[in-house]
Amino acid sequence: MDVARVSRDAYAEAFRRVTGRPLVALPQLAGASDSEIFFESLALNESVAGAGQPEDGDLLGRYSAELAAAFDARAHLLPEQGRILPGARAALAATSRLPGVIQTVLTGTIRQNAACKLHAFGLDGYLDVGIGGFGSDVYPKGTLILRSLAMAAEKYGVRLAPGGSAYVGDSVRDVAAAKVAGVRCIGVATGRSTLSELRDAGADTVFVDLSDTARVVAAISP
């Protein structure tokens, strides 16, 4: 989904509340976690914790809390200012009907805001958010994929091999994470990464978008 406008406004408010300074420059967002965005924003905007302020760990905790509050206050704007990207709802619905398939989300967004986005567009019913990976977790994406597989296996009492799993992402960083975890990667050029960039990074299959439901389901099917 594309909720960039709402996200940018929430980033700016949370950043100002934690640092006391305006967010003038925003770093590259593609494939980055909310924690990475925050610390890169600190560097870009030359904002550092001053005397008496918490150390980085506490600063990130404060920022995450402010970001969740700022995003929640704008949740009503998501359907108006955001949109579901082509084919996403149909792909999730179709894949959810495949036997033995477990779907979750792995995103750089913090857990509260990811759940808020999914709920706003009615997508949360297709996903088990409880076994997902989020920007509020202190692991790189490749590790988050493996962690999600382990949580799913424990919760559902099944054996899940990385090779039988697929990760859908829209950036070359997503492709790299999939390779680290040993899962298949479906690259979708709806972000800043192009088809050729996703293919060159090692994506197993690439799509312009998810609008061809049958082809998407075929690529995801184990």
Predicted structure pTM score: 0.85
What confidence tens digit (pLDDT) does each residue in 68-121 have? 999 999 999 999 999 999 999 999 999 999 999 999 999 989 999 999 999 999
What is residue 158's predicted lDDT score, i.e. its pLDDT?
A: 93
Mean pLDDT of the chain: 90
Q: In the chain, where are the structural domains located? A: 4-79, 85-220
**Which CB contacts under 8 angstroms, 24+ apart, belong to 39-44?**
41/11, 41/15
Token code pair at residue 120 = 């706003």
Alpha-carbon distance of 80 to 41, in angstroms, equals 27
Fold of 85-220: Rossmann fold (3.40.50)
What is residue 90's predicted lDDT score, i.e. its pLDDT?
A: 97
